[in-house]
Amino acid sequence: MNTHRQNSGFFDFTARRKSLRIIIPVALALIAYFILDYVNVPTLIGLTPSNINVDMFGILFNSVIVLVLYVVSFYYIENKQNEKYANAIDTVDALLKKTYQECLDNLKLLDNKEMIEEYIMPKVDGNKSFSENKVIHNLQTLPFSSFDAVIELAVNGYVEKEKLDNYLDIKKEYQYLVSVKITFFDLVNPKTDGQKAMYNDIRTRDNVIKRKINGFLNKTY
């Protein structure tokens, strides 16, 4: 996230530098004009002041002021847009980090057979679907409580496609693993081929998603 803040500071510096490149020469030209006018240089060099179009100078002066204000406003707005973008990117990273960390913690928690047997299974109604079992539903959905916010940021262009794809893949796989790790929590010594296949599938997918999440946390944040 510090990278985005550094980029924001760079944008600030660039905007100020661009503005100064235009404002300073214009300001110097105006100062020079006022000095020349104050010491009455035209008279000193033999020019007749009445032949100088004072109105033209007034129009020029006003036009320059408008131009300067436009340039300053343009770079100010550009700077605010850059700052808004950096803030949005930081928000995305913070939300994803929180989500992934909660997913990882819950998956590790569900590695504990005794904990599931003592605290989760008594609250599970086998006659209801996962979504109707509050304890399972909460474990599946609470890490993704910011899902709507992430999608909104993605729609507005603040989430890279690859990052969004990874997020959606993690969500789908995590919620599946929560359900099967609870359902088959006591499958520790598989006997039949079907049990062995399920046991190996759960273990493999669990290890894969944990590696992915750790990779995202260590690499991105």
Q: Which of 35, 68, 84 is the last residue of a domain?
A: 84
Per-residue pLDDT at 125:
80
Residue 59 token pair = 């129009």
| pLDDT value at residue 220 | 52
The per-residue pLDDT for 17 is 63
Of the residues 55, 84, 113, which one is the last residue of a structural domain? 84
Let me know: does 103 contact 143? Beta carbons within 8 Å: yes
The CA-atom distances, in angstroms, between 53 and each of 48, 57, 61, 197 are 11, 7, 13, 94
Cβ contacts of 159 within 8 Å, gap of 6 or more: 92, 150, 153, 167
* Number of compact structural domains in the chain: 2
114 and 57 share one domain: no
Residue 27: per-residue pLDDT? 65
Report how far apart, in Å, the C-alpha atoms of 220 and of each of 89, 109, 158, 215 are. Answer: 12, 24, 15, 8
pLDDT at 183: 92
Domain of residue 159 covers 87-220
Same domain, 100 and 186: yes
Q: Based on the fold, state whether residues 171 and 214 are members of the same structural domain.
A: yes
101 — phi, psi (to 5°)?
-65, -40
What distance in Å separates the CA atoms of residue 205 and residue 84, rounded to the nearest whole number? 38
Asked if residue 200 and residue 131 are part of one domain, the reply reads yes
Q: Are residues 151 and 188 in the same domain?
A: yes
Same domain (yes/no): 112, 189: yes
Instruction: Tell me the pLDDT of the chain (221 aa) as tens digits.
Output: 445 554 445 445 555 565 566 666 666 666 666 665 555 555 555 555 554 555 666 676 677 677 777 777 776 677 767 778 888 899 999 999 999 999 999 999 999 999 999 999 988 887 778 778 898 999 999 999 999 999 999 999 999 999 999 999 999 999 999 999 999 999 989 999 999 999 999 999 999 999 999 999 987 54
**pLDDT tens readout for residues 160-171:** 999 999 999 999
Does residue 96 share a domain with residue 23?
A: no
Domain boundary residue among 27, 61, 84?
84
